[in-house]
Structures are given as C-alpha cells and as structure tokens.
Structure 1
Amino acid sequence: MINQISKSTTIDWSSPDVLNQIVQNIKNPLDTIITASKPDTVDNKKSQNEIIFSSSKQINDLIEEILKEIKSKSVSLTIQGRPDIFEIYESNKNVQGLCLNKINPQKVTKLDQDWLINLEKEIYNSINQNDMNLYELSYKMAVSERQLHRKIASLVHLTPNKYIRILRLHKAKHLIDNYIQNSISQVAYSVGYNDVHYFSKLFSGQYDISPKELINSLR
C-alpha cells in the first residue's frame, strides 16, 4: 500500500524495475479475474461474465504492451553503460583542460552515473535549442537549479553551460563523422548554434580541427 510507505523513502518512479513491479501488481489479480470470468456458455447472448472477460482481456493486452516497453527500456539502460562525458574526457585533452579537477569515473557511484546518463538524455533531446533553459533542465531532473549546478560541478567539475557546450560539440562531431550532415550550417543548427562562425570557433577549440576541415577529410 502506498500510504504504508515511509515518508523518508525515496521512490524512483522512472526506474524500469519499479514500474515493472507496479504493473505486475495490477496484472496478477487481473489474471485471476480473467480466469474466473472466462465464458463457458454456448449461448449467443453475452452473459455478464463474457462482458467482464472481454473488458479484462483488453486491459490485460494493454498491460502486456506496457511490460514489453518497460523491458526494452531496462535493456537499453543496461546497454548504455557509461555517461558520454567520461568517454569525451578520457579522449580529449582540451576537455580535460576545461575541468577544474580530474574526473575519476571509478569514484563516481553507479547511481550518479545513471543520473548523468539521464541528464545527457535530456540535453540531447533539446540540443537543437539555441538557449537551453537550465531551469527547465533542472525541473526535468527533479532538482533545483542550484542543485543542478552543484551536482554537475561535483561529478564532472564543470559548470552546466560548459558541460552542455561539450555535449553539443560532441554531438556535432558525431553528425559529421557518421555522414549525417555534410553542411557546416546544418551541423551548427542541429546542435543549437545559429552563428556558424562562433560554432566553428568552439568546435576547433575542442577538437583542434575546424568542422570544414573535418568534413573535407572524410570526403
């Protein structure tokens, strides 16, 4: 019962395991109802049991779809592994120079890594926005804007704006490397930069190569 849960207990309602348990709690008694109301009459008229069976069966089918979706999300979270910022940091000296302290992924708990993965997901979902709203981002992450600043600083030693910029440019390089975009302006707009010259300057600062040079090198 929800009202029996201690007020000090924190429940992650976005967790696939939690959602799976909730749906299973609904599904188990529903299976009993379906079995009990399964029609066994040959009469052409629908009995009350037939109506209950039909409605319950539809609900059960819907729950099965929900369970499949939860399972797929659970698998994707497992496959995703580490936050992108760790890979970027380890392979890029320019990014390392932006961090106030050394990032040590081994000292970041799995819970905090999952938090960073979810944060990156929210950033990528809005990456084409020129002015990403930190208040909205903190709201989506269920923390205050001040807490967002503190947590990013404690985990990756960056300000939110620098962190977002690194991810924007990382996404831009991904678009170029995978031939998704071959126009500098298209790449810039895709990651939230309306000023192509400014975008090129930032990109060169992070990767020691301009977007134009990178595009030409892949042709």
Structure 2
Amino acid sequence: METLSPDVVLDLEYFFELSPDMLCIAGDDGYFKKINSAVSNTLGYSKEELFGSPVNTFIHPDDREITAQKHNTLRKGEPLLNFENRYIAKTGEIIWLSWTFVPIIRDKLVFAIAKNITYKKQIEEFDRISLILAMINDDHKQRFKTGQNNVNAKALIIPKLKVNAKVNHEPSPLDQQWLSNFESTVRKYVGRLDLTLHMISDELALSERQLYRRVDRILGITPNKLVRIIRLQLAWEAIASGKYRTVAEISSLAGFKSRAHFSKLFKEVYGIDATELM
C-alpha cells in the first residue's frame, strides 16, 4: 500500500491545525484523541482540559441524551450529517454546533467536523421573538380598530407576517461582532428604566440614524425591538439561574417598567407564565 511522503503528512497537519472549522478525532471511550486549535478557541478550554474529560462533559445537559442516541448510529458504521447540539463554553456561554461524523470502525475512532452556528440560531431566535412582538402589536391595533376584544387577530395575521423577509443571510463576522457589542451595551445598562437609543448609540460611537440603519440592515428590525428581545432573553436567563424568587425582581432586573407588561410579553414569547418557572 502506498504511503504518504513526510511532506504531505506535514501539509495535512498544517491544514488540520489552521482549519477554521472544529476538527477532532474521538475514541470509542468517549474522549478526544486529537483536536485542532479551533476547538479550544471556540469552547475556551485548553487542550489539556479537553483531553482530560469525556466529551460528554462539555455537551449541554439537555442535549446529552439525544447525542448519545446518535452515537449509537455511529457504532453501526453509519456516518451522521448535519447533527446539531449545544456545548457549554468555559465562560458558560452556550455554543451551537453543526456536526458531520464519520466512524472508523476498524480503529474504534470517529472523525468529526463541526461548524459554529451559534449566530444562526441566535438570529432565528431574534426572528421568532420579533414575529411574536409584531403579532402582539398588530393584535392590539386590530382590537383598537374593531373594538371587539374577543377577536383573535393573531389567527388572522399569522399568514401575512414575515418580519425579516429581506434578511435571509447570516451576518458577516464584522456584523456579528457589532451585534455582540450592541448586546453587551444593552446588558450593561439593562436594569436602567431610562435606557435610551441615544445612550446605546453613544456607547457604539454612532448616530441614532446610523444605529437604526445598521440594525435594520443586519436583522430587518428596529433597535427598540432588538432591545426588547435582549431584555426578554436576559429575563429567561435570570429565571434559569434560580437566584431570584419573584416576577417583580425579574421584571426590574430586565428593565421593564411594568410587571404586568413583562408577564404578558414573557407568556407570549415563551409560552409559559414566568410565575410557573419561578
């Protein structure tokens, strides 16, 4: 059997290390055997930490069962394409990954390539919440026009709504970084009831008009709606932390002026009363 020359092997190692995608080889024992720098850079752990614990350790607890089921497919020698699951970065951030697995039964190894699709998932969530907020607004307008509080306006407008129809692409790395800065700014001041777009635009060194244009270009929504989305996500995170005991605390923490308004929005977006989660 023909073997690769040392130069070719070196080139493959170079490719493996510099690939922007996460490349890894895992053993049948559930441990990483080889990873490239993208794995460490994405998850924030050192290579020693990643090699020292089972792969399952880094997977989001809610995704471990489905991941284990998919691995049973790999044991049969069948490749797995476009499998999505969540990992927990060292910072605590949730990282969405899309995997392609190729099992090597002879060597009891799995070759895997993963793409970071966190922003894709985040944009999908922005779009979902934006749609619901638009439905609430349109529902309010419909009720006002008809004067009939028992009219289910949402059922009438759902087929017509496509909030982000003009946005069908993933943000560029530059836009992703800018959105991260926007979110960081909102989170920095989120508890302040007097948070304004002027404060945010000053922090980002933009005029308010530029702020509107950039958010609209990237997401197809207004900055005010994006702020509300971030507030709701912060409220969900605060409830999940288990550190708070009342809806009033959560509402205040997320920067909502009215507890009743917050409760309504939360129920519409997440389909459950905040009090039930508490």
Which residue of the partner structure matches residue 253 of structure 2? 190
Structure 2 CA distance for partners of 1:146 and 1:187, relative to 1, 3 Å: same
Q: Is the 2:130–2:229 Cα contact (8 Å) retained in structure 1?
A: no
Which residue of the partner structure matches residue 95 of structure 1? 129
**Equivalent residue pairs, number:** 139
Q: 1:105 deviation in Å? A: 5.4
Q: Please, what TM-score do these two structures have when normalized by structure 2?
A: 0.44
Rg larger for: 1
Q: Structure 2 counterpart of 1:177, which letter?
A: A
2:189 to 100, 122, 126: 126
Gaps of 5+ in 1: 1-74
* Aligned 1:172-187 pairs, distance under 5 A: 172-187=235-250
Q: Structure 2 counterpart of 1:159, which letter?
A: T
Alpha carbon RMSD of aligned pairs, Å? 3.0
Q: 1:93 deviation in Å? A: 7.0
Which structure carries more helix by proportion? 1
Indicate the structure whose relative CO is greater, using CA pairs within 8 Å and at least 6 residues apart: 1
Which residue of the partner structure matches residue 60 of structure 2? none
Q: Is the 2:248–2:259 Cα contact (8 Å) retained in structure 1?
A: yes
Aligned counterparts of 1:200 and 1:87: Cα–Cα separation in 2: 25
Deviates more, 1:94-103 or 1:195-204: 94-103
Identity %: 29
Which structure carries more strand by proportion? 2
Gaps of 5+ in 2: 1-43, 45-90, 96-115, 135-161
Describe the superposition over 1:175-207 as per-residue Cα deviations: whole angstroms up to 9, x where unpaired. 001212121000000011232111101111211
Aligned counterparts of 1:95 and 1:183: Cα–Cα separation in 2: 23
Which residue of the partner structure matches residue 135 of structure 1? 198
Instruction: Give the 3-state SS of the residue equivalent to 2:194 in structure 1.
Output: coil
Q: Please, what TM-score do these two structures have when normalized by structure 1?
A: 0.55
Q: Is the 1:94–1:205 Cα contact (8 Å) retained in structure 2?
A: no
Aligned counterparts of 1:83 and 1:122: Cα–Cα separation in 2: 23
2:179 to 101, 105, 116: 116
Instruction: Give the 3-state SS of the residue equivalent to 1:139 in structure 2.
Output: helix
